[in-house]
Structure 1
């Protein structure tokens, strides 16, 4: 099942197996707060012609919604995965604690009860269900580093995983889908519903460089594609899925917390 269409005869990367292949049909947004909202507030306060805001102005007026692109699904998606908060299945790697907030793009209100689904490669660049595609053998459950979580009343999906590895032609990334109205089966899988967003999450090169020096990532001999070299990431920062990462401890091995606010069009 190995896809070699992206490898030239001399073994070098040619074309990513996940290069975009169709126009984006849906929209997604990110909620810009913090520095953006503060900058808007400062601008209003220092502009002589700007009238004072009335005391009755809604708090939501400080929220700014910015359109962002969806990203290709890629060749390694398997549907109907588990609904679970920890998708590691014992895979070795640096801990990654994700908190993804889903909001409605029209109102910026949090979207509760949506299923946020993730899938990504292990430290050696192998996807469950496709182990061997990146040149490393090993046991294959077909489910490791795959799964989804329903958002809480604040629109937050909290998922524990590991920092992804890399494979030929792609930078380090995580795939994400957002579904609404799914059904959770008795054995813990999800089914049905409506898919409203397909995207990818990306990582700082500074942190990825540090991770790449730690075992088992350091044993991955595949040449790593950087964020700037990637054929999918469009240099759009948070608007294109770049996570905000915070160290969980004093060493790289202690892991990271990653956050991002995704807005979706219902």
Structure 2
């Protein structure tokens, strides 16, 4: 009796072919049902943006501060890397001052016009990665610790946002290291910064020690076809460089710096219970 004539063998062959067909049909359905990644939240363009026309990985320009490497992974909502986009970053120095603007420093008396420190752009690699060497940012009144970033597809910005660093680490650096120490206590933390609270979890960077530096990583999920409106609030005094955006400096009514156990509870998530 041949294999085709044997009833048991014929049944096994039929079941195998049906199983293979079922798996082939199920694969596209499973792919279609796979959950999409949430888009990274946009925020105001924030303090002091301008295109410094600096395509570079190292943005420090010799400034003192704790070394920080910022690693972005730029993906679409399906988790596919997006090579060939452009990522910009900009942030303040260890004393809370931005390059390119007047009115910097605690007394608003310093001019940083003509300077381009802590600004730069990188193209995303084949894996969607973009890496910057910088320093850990300082702080200024009314804002928690943050780094601004922008993702461009050609000349069009598809995402403008900020990401936020761990309060406990920031507090340690600001109180223990002379480059960061200030006459006043930081008044705004992640837990009471309106922009950070509105942006939510997609803008919280993960930070770890690696060798003699900290490494901050953040996955950016973007729509490469997006055409979002960019929020550019007015500059609080002084003129920005030509083509610059506007800062998000808050006005009167800024929060008072927390003290004692209330501050500890705000700095350390487990202590908030």
TM-score range, shorter chain: 0.5 to 0.7
- The answer for unaligned runs of 5 or more in structure 1 is 1-52, 182-192
Deviation at 1:94, TM superposition (A): 0.5
Deviations along 1:219-264, one digit per CA (max 9) or x if unpaired, are: 464634111111210176541x110101124xxxx43101111011
* Partner in structure 1 of residue 42 of structure 2: 70
Deviation at 1:211, TM superposition (A): 1.4
Deviations along 1:143-165, one digit per CA (max 9) or x if unpaired, are: 10001111100000011000000
* Partner in structure 2 of residue 225 of structure 1: 188
SS in 2 for 1:126: coil
> 1:116-265 residue pairs with structure 2 within 5 A?
116-130=87-101, 132-135=103-106, 137=110, 141-181=114-154, 193-212=155-174, 213-219=176-182, 221=184, 223-234=186-197, 238-239=201-202, 241-249=203-211, 254-265=212-223
- The answer for unaligned runs of 5 or more in structure 2 is 1-21, 225-273
1:238, 1:260 within 8 Å by CA — same for their partners in 2? no
Aligned CA RMSD, in angstroms, stands at 2.6
Aligned-partner Cα distance in 2 for 1:163–1:138 = 21
* Partner in structure 2 of residue 82 of structure 1: 54
Counterparts in 2 of 1:258 and 1:126: CA distance versus 1, 3 Å: same
> 1:25-44 residue pairs with structure 2 within 5 A?
none
Deviations along 1:147-206, one digit per CA (max 9) or x if unpaired, are: 11111000000110000000010001000000112xxxxxxxxxxx11110000100111
* Partner in structure 2 of residue 111 of structure 1: 82
Please identify which structure carries the higher helix content.
2
Counterparts in 2 of 1:64 and 1:247: CA distance versus 1, 3 Å: farther
SS in 1 for 2:194: coil
Aligned-partner Cα distance in 1 for 2:92–2:183 = 12
Deviation at 1:62, TM superposition (A): 6.8
Deviation at 1:79, TM superposition (A): 1.8
Aligned-partner Cα distance in 1 for 2:162–2:47 = 13
The structure with the larger Rg is: 2
Aligned-partner Cα distance in 2 for 1:201–1:214 = 23
Aligned-partner Cα distance in 2 for 1:216–1:131 = 21
Counterparts in 2 of 1:230 and 1:130: CA distance versus 1, 3 Å: same
Aligned-partner Cα distance in 2 for 1:222–1:204 = 17
SS in 1 for 2:169: helix
